[in-house]
Amino acid sequence: MKSIFAALFSLIICAIIVPVFFVKTASAQSSTIESAKQFLEFLTQSRYDEATKRFDSKVAAELNGEKLRQVWAALQLQAGTFQRLKDINREIVPTGGQRSEIVILTCEFRTGLVDIRLAHNEVGEISGIFFTPSKSQSVVTTARPAYKLPVYAKLEAIIERPITVKTGSYTLPGTLTLPKGVAKPPVAILIHGSGPNDRDEANGGFKPFKDLALGLAAKGIATIRYDKRTRIYPDSARNAAFTIKDEVIDDALSAIALARNLSDVDARTIVIIGHSLGGMMAPRIAAAAPDVRGVVFLGANARPIQDLLVPQYEFIFSQYQPSEGTRQQLDVVRQQVAKVNSSSLSLQTPAQELPFGMNPAYWIDLKQYDHVATARMLNQPLLVLQADNDYQVTTVDFTLWQRALSEQRGTVFIRYPGLFHLFCPGQMSPVAYEGAGNVAENVIADIATWITMTVATKGK
């Protein structure tokens, strides 16, 4: 079976349990490594009840053997079956004059690397457990083609400058791309999809946000793109109060505020371009920033995000021959989605019972946000783009957007045959992510024309 980790790059696992901080002796520090290795061995041997005996009382109260099985199953559903322990490291975290040790098990799964981070208390019990994408390498099993600049890039005709998007104590590096020789161009803010994306939304041989920035600059339009908060500050997602506001909204609004104060762009003509989850959040961002002149939905889901998960997995499994164990893991995802959609979802719901192990506050916030209804309330022009070969956000969503917004003045709908979720040429299959390519030039041309003829004209 080909690697599906790239296809599911938007799906993150974060089993969120707050660790207890402590002072450890040298002998205790040495024993934690053996404890962590033993814990992993129990997981790989399906000895979940034995694994939970390593927990302290607080973790044990939240994560019994069955819930641990579900977490491990969900992890392998997304990253593939466990292959081997690749590396082991210790991290000493100072806090309040004390130190906490976290053992980091970098594990190779069939399609990628995952760090299992285990905190231990002073008696060697596991007091915190986290699953995060490894910083070492995102994909390990398939050599993927390298990214190449698109043919429409005109490097001699652009200027790129480093920028910083600041939200409170969070500082995100980014890039301002300007068309050379254009006075006060319109500026588009690029809003990422799910996952800890960099400013280019890089995924193997694809960099769709870089393509958009270069392509739009060639058409006389500036862009702002920046590294996502969960990339620069991955631990931020472990906060029990973490929501989509923290993941996407606040930093997008900070980027808009930055654009308003740039002397070399037209602050009267700010556009937001949201891809996937970023498109879902775009109405909320535009509602909070009414001076935004237009909104582009780039493969944005109209359905609630949790309702996309099971169809995505079912489609992937239809392309391959899943094992019985993988089918059982899909049942776990169905249960997690049902929990999100249940009226019983509350702040007391254990994160391990929810998709990706994300905390209940995250899902409650998403459930309370009706992005389609919010889009209907916007006064700005809207451009809705759909790649026909997208199996993650499908033409079902495009049709729902059409039904909801067809009577909204200034809304334009365009479909693109032969393109997949990244708006690059590719088949409707996870295999598409294993290649390399660029955002189709006609997509960039359509966005640029719409901004120039609809949005920039309105902004004058």
Name the architecture of domain 155-299+370-459. Answer: 3-Layer(aba) Sandwich (3.40)
- Output the DSSP codes for 225-239: EE--HHHH-GGGGGS
pLDDT digits (tens, 9 = 90+) for 133-162: 776 654 344 456 889 999 999 999 999 999
Query: How high is the pLDDT of residue 235?
Result: 81
Whether pLDDT at 28 is above 90: no
High-pLDDT (> 70) share of the chain, %: 85
Residue 371: both structure tokens together: 């992005």
Whether pLDDT at 442 is above 60: yes
Query: How high is the pLDDT of residue 99?
Result: 56
Confidence band of 383 (pLDDT split at 50, 70, 90): very high
pLDDT digits (tens, 9 = 90+) for 402-412: 999 998 888 99
CA separation for the pair 229, 246 (Å, rounded): 8
Amino acid found at 357: G
Residue 249: both structure tokens together: 């909204």
- Output the DSSP codes for 369-423: --HHHHHHH--S-EEEEEETT-SSS-HHHHHHHHHHHTTSTTEEEEEETTB-TTS
Q: Among 33-42, 52-61, 261-270, 359-368, where is mean pLDDT lowest?
A: 52-61
High-pLDDT (> 90) share of the chain, %: 57
Of residues 121 and 232, which shows the higher confidence score? 232
Whether pLDDT at 436 is above 90: yes
Instruction: Determine phi and psi for 425, rounding to 5 degrees.
Output: -60, 135
CA separation for the pair 338, 310 (Å, rounded): 10
Of residues 211 and 77, which shows the higher confidence score? 211
Whether pLDDT at 311 is above 60: yes
Average pLDDT, the chain: 85
Strands, E, within 110-210: which ranges? 112-120, 126-133, 158-167, 170-179, 187-191
Instruction: Determine phi and psi for 381, rounding to 5 degrees.
Output: -65, 150
Q: Among 46-55, 71-80, 122-131, 231-240, where is mean pLDDT lowest?
A: 71-80
Q: Which range, 101-110, 139-148, 198-207, has the best average confidence (pLDDT)? A: 198-207
Query: How high is the pLDDT of residue 64?
Result: 82
Exposed, middle or buried by CB within 10 Å (0-12, 13-18, 19+), for 407? exposed
pLDDT digits (tens, 9 = 90+) for 348-378: 999 888 888 789 999 999 999 999 999 999 9
**Measuring CA to CA, how many Å separate 55 from each of 20, 61, 72, 117, 404?**
12, 9, 16, 13, 49
Q: Return the CATH class of domain 26-133.
A: alpha beta
Whether pLDDT at 44 is above 60: yes
Pairing between β-strand 382-387 and β-strand 411-416 as defined by DSSP bridges = parallel
Query: How high is the pLDDT of residue 16?
Result: 27
The residue to which tokens 């239809």 are assigned: 318
Residue whose C-alpha is closest to residue 137's, from 84, 86, 83, 71: 86
Query: How high is the pLDDT of residue 14?
Result: 31
Range list for CATH 3.40.50.1820 in the chain: 155-299+370-459
Name the packing angle between helices 208-218 and 441-450 (round to 10°): 60
Query: How high is the pLDDT of residue 24?
Result: 37
pLDDT digits (tens, 9 = 90+) for 155-200: 999 999 999 999 999 999 999 999 999 999 999 999 999 888 999 9
Range list for CATH 3.10.450.590 in the chain: 26-133
- Sheet with 222-226: list strands edge to edge: 158-167, 170-179, 222-226, 187-191, 270-275, 294-298, 382-387, 411-416
pTM: 0.76
Task: Taking the CA atoms of 304, 306, 310 and 316 in sequence, report the sign of the dihedral they define.
Answer: positive
Query: How high is the pLDDT of residue 315?
Result: 86
Amino acid found at 449: T
Amino acid found at 154: K
Confidence band of 6 (pLDDT split at 50, 70, 90): very low
